[in-house]
Every structure is written in C-alpha cells, then in structure tokens.
Structure 1
C-alpha cells in the first residue's frame, strides 16, 4: 500500500449499493415511457456515464432532442430516488472509514458520473457532506470515465498531486479512469467480481466493503 494524501470516491456502487435501482429506473422509463423493447440485461450493460451517454449508446447519438433527453433523465432520477430512498445507506464500514480518514487529515472528494441532483440526494440524506472538501459530478465535466477528467479535477481542487491520490471505485471503467489519471485504486466489489480488474496494474486491493482489514494499511504512516 501507499500513504495517500487524498481519497477520491466514486458514488454509485462505491459509497452506496444502489446500482440495481438505477437499472430498474432506466428499464421502466425506456420500456414504459419510450416503449422500447430492451431487456433488463441490455439496459444494465449500458448503464454507466452520463444519462445522455446512456441514451446515445442505446439509441444512437441524436435520436432524442436535448429537451427530450433532459425529460427522460429527470424522470429516471425521480423513479430511482423514490425506489431507493427507503434503502439508502452507506456501504458497510464506510461511515467509520470516513471518520478515520478525516481524523488522519486525509483530504476527500467525490468524483462521480451522477448528476448533482442525485449527489445531493445521497450526501444530504446520509449527512456526510462534511467529510468532502470537493464534489465533482457529471455536471462539472465534459468527458465521462474512463477519461480521467473527473479524478484529475478532484485532485486539482484538493491541491493534491495525482500520484498521492487513491481512488475508490466499483467499475472497470472507473478504475481505468484512475489509471489514466496516474492514480492507484481500491475496488469495491458490489457490481463486478475481482477477476474483472485483473488487467489493471493500479489496483491496490479488491474488497467487499470498508471493514476489510487490508484498508488499514492506507493509514499507516
């Protein structure tokens, strides 16, 4: 392990285990509102990046007007929040991990493809905003992961060198974004098993949750 100066967290699937609810919301909007004939598996496969990018991958760029993209995106997020709110909680051990990081004077940021509307839903309902000096959402970047822009912007705003940041991610494209940013990564295996990250040389560890004792090594001076 390394002794990092900053922790950069993805949100969905990394801080909260909510990806099933995102997939269900997209599936309902696409099959009920748009009347498309996608299977749930087809929707889940494309469920990463910005909402506009999801729609472009499924239907082709330009299929929907910008106004319609916004309407569908907002409807999806409303359904997601309504379904997930009764289950909203941090992944096991993360609350204690955040407190320890703060006590250890490790800077923290959220770098996510979620829109601000969903970031606020999570951090305010869970009362964790105080831990994060920086939040970079889909609304703050031009290019989604695996492009490194999200994590580079987090580090720049924290004023921490890229190589002294550790990224927490649940998806291969997020780990690839960390690699492209010159950062190490810890994988939370909520959605993808550890073997799917075997090709990434920047992975420090793959853990089920934040209670794994291997994470203690991040705090060793």
Structure 2
C-alpha cells in the first residue's frame, strides 16, 4: 500500500460502489441471445462488459451491424431491464458510506468515472442519495474513448484540479484498472466480479478488497 496520501478518489460505479454486475450480465445475456440472436455464453458476455454499450455491441456483432438509432434503443432497453431487476437490491457496498463520509471530512476530492450512461449513474446516485459527495461525474457521454483508454479518469482529475499521480482509482474490472494504469494512477480493486489473478497484467494495484470495511484503506485516509 502506498504511503503517499492521495488528494482525490476516482470511483468506477457498477461493481465498485454497488455490487450489481451480475444483473448487468443477465440483462446483456438476455438481450444478446434472446432478442438479437447472438450465440454467446453468459461467461463470454461477462468478459465483454467494459466500455460503452455501443462498444460491447460492436465487439459482439461488428462495427456497422446496427444503426445508431438501433444501438440507442438496445442500450436503453438493456438498462431498463437491469434497473427493474436490481432496484430492490440497490445498496452501497458495505463500508462505503462511512468511507465516503471520512474522505469528505478529510477534504479528499471525489469523482465518478464510469462507462455507464447518465441514466444508470443517476439511478444509483439519486436513489442512494450520495450525489453530494462527488465534485465531478464523468459518464460514457462525456468521453470520446472509453476504458481502457485513460480519458474517463484523466478528465475526472482535470475537473477536480488534481495531478494524475495524486489520484487513487477504485475499480472492479481489468479494463478499468488498465485505464487507471494508462492514466498514471494507482488503483484499489474490488473483487466483486473478478478474482485477483485476473489482474496479473497490471502493476498499479495497491490493494485488493472485498468491501470498504477492509482496514488497509485506513492507509489512504
């Protein structure tokens, strides 16, 4: 664990602040196989769940297979299915509420850096009443290049007015960790959806945690 105290925390959202990735996986698998006729397994869908919704569709079907209007319709239908299934389970990952409070009291700046569309980000922040903690929100609509490109995190840091190496990113996905590494940022990994061995390619990880009650996080505050 690093000894340098960070000035900012940048949080991915899904799988990092809320433990919802299984619900995204089920919604995508249903859309891809039952609605769109793709022959793809549940596990294979899981590996494609990074970046923008359009990126995922283009990886599975190829660029140009759908019109932009179709992509937008598929995307919003997928999010409606996800929200409908997950809403009754919506809660912060254990320990996060206290962690956010403590960071705020210490003057650590915080931002959301997510590949989710605003529709999903608002669903989480407003239903859980945590929007006030974040001085910047970077969504899929705010970047040209999604993760593993560093733009999501570098843009968040720029809005907060902090140097990239003064940030610690909280992520749950290998491509998100790669984005943080590409931005020159250290990363804490939530093992909500992936196991530690799936991150062996990255050298910017300072801790693996199951939730925010892990005492190792005290070293960041």
TM range (shorter): over 0.9
The 5 A counterparts of 1:131-142 are 131-142=133-144
- The equivalent residue for 1:3 is 5
Where does structure 1 differ by over 6 angstroms across 4 or more consecutive aligned residues?
A: none
Structure 1 residue 207 displacement after superposition? 0.8
Structure 1 residue 169 displacement after superposition? 0.5
Which residue of 25, 28, 33 maps to 2:27? 25
- The equivalent residue for 1:123 is 125
Closer/same/farther in 2, CA of residues 44 and 198 from structure 1, 3 Å limit:
closer
Cα distance in 1 for partners of 2:49, 2:124 equals 19
CA RMSD of aligned residues (A): 0.9
Cα distance in 2 for partners of 1:12, 1:30 equals 20
Structure 2 residues not aligned, in runs of 5+ = none
- The equivalent residue for 1:210 is 212
- The equivalent residue for 1:196 is 198
Structure 1 residue 197 displacement after superposition? 2.0
- The equivalent residue for 1:75 is 77
Structure 1 residue 201 displacement after superposition? 1.6
Cα distance in 1 for partners of 2:153, 2:75 equals 24
Residues 135-165 of structure 1: per-residue CA shift (max 9 Å, x gap): 0000100101110000000000000111100
TM, length-normalised to structure 2: 0.97
Tell me the number of residue pairs that the alignment of Structure 1 and Structure 2 aligns: 219
Structure 1 residue 27 displacement after superposition? 1.3
Structure 1 residue 202 displacement after superposition? 1.1
- The equivalent residue for 2:172 is 170
Greater displacement, 34-43 / 49-58: 34-43
